Amino acid sequence: MGSNPEVSFIKLIKPVYILMLLVPLIWSSNFVLGRILVQNLPPFTITTARFGIALVILLILLKIKGQLKWPDKDLLVKITLLGFTGIFGFNTILYIGLKYTTAVNSTIINAFNPVVMAVMSTLWLQETLSARQIVGLFISFIGIFIIAVKGSWQVMLSLGFNTGDIIIFFDTIVWAFFTVLSKKVMSRLSPLETTTYANFAGVLFLIPAMLSEWGGEIPMFTPVHSLMLLYLGVFASVIAFLWWNKGVSEIGPTRAAAFYNLIPVYAAILAYFILGERLQLYHLIGGIMVLSGVYLGIKKKTQPVRPGTCRLK
């Protein structure tokens, strides 16, 4: 009897793939909601509220798992750097950049992250960077350049770059540093422990920065703003992270990276309906180049199969 194509298709829909489709959707919403929040609240205040909420949840999860303990002294410097770069630095820089650029631009530029991480891993972890990855890096950079100059020769010749695009590009370097350092720390700690301690260190940096923004006057938090921050704290900072790590553990980082690159697609859709942002031709061209470069950067070289051998699926 022939196989039923409907049954075969259903077997391909694994629960982990559904989670990995939802993770970039949640993270893309951070760019869109962040674009709204920065028009009404200071960036340090947004970041502190978001990760303060996340920290409480993460501490509770660690307590439930019985993993709540003070980390070893030799890890404190690395954990402090994680908090400073990944929590304090990356997210605050992101919200600052979103004041000057669109959510669509920021997510397309953010798609350059996997290639930057490949370069950082090569320099720091001595991982090999193949010729294909170098080509991918170059293609992605050209794509980002097209977006930054808005596809205009006049802008390029006058060097009139969008300040927000440059800020977001710099932010990808900060995230790459955080990711590579996280890999080192997670050789000693679980992902949940690493994230919790990084959140704790980051919030310690954020609180004084937030208070300096206030200037003695507490910003006005509307009910809508509070709900947005609660969503970012619970979903973008905790749930999406846990689902992401589950996906990486089950399907591997290479396949997971392919899902990460759905962020610009989701963000463009959300920005169109929520923010009324319009996609331009240079977005399409630059976005395709960025994603193509990232694909080359993460694609593994297929090993040839020797005659007489059988490759297991």
| Interval 284-294: pLDDT, tens | 787 787 777 76
- Identify the domain containing residue 33 by its residue range: 13-298
- Number of domains observed in the structure of the chain: 1
- The whole-number average pLDDT for the span 113-123 is 70
- The whole-number average pLDDT for the span 116-120 is 71
Asked whether the predicted pLDDT for residue 178 surpasses 70, the reply is yes
User: What is the distance, to the nearest Å, from the Cα of residue 55 to the centroid of all Cα atoms in its chain?
Assistant: 18
**Residue 311 covered by a domain:** no
**Residue 5 covered by a domain:** no
- The whole-number average pLDDT for the span 281-306 is 66
More confident residue, 165 or 236: 236
The overall average pLDDT reported for the chain is: 77
What CA–CA distances, in Å, run from 303 to 14, 258, 306? 26, 20, 9
Q: What is the per-residue pLDDT for 305?
A: 44
**Residue 204 covered by a domain:** yes
**Residue 303 covered by a domain:** no
**Residue 1 covered by a domain:** no
**Residue 192 covered by a domain:** yes
What does R_g of the chain's alpha carbons equal in angstroms?
21
Q: pLDDT for 46-95, tens place per residue?
A: 989 999 999 999 999 999 988 888 888 888 999 999 999 988 988 888 88
Query: The whole model's pTM is what?
Result: 0.71
Both tokens of residue 260?
């990460």
Q: What is the per-residue pLDDT for 313?
A: 33
Q: Where are the beta strands (DSSP E) in the chain?
A: none
**Residue 42 covered by a domain:** yes
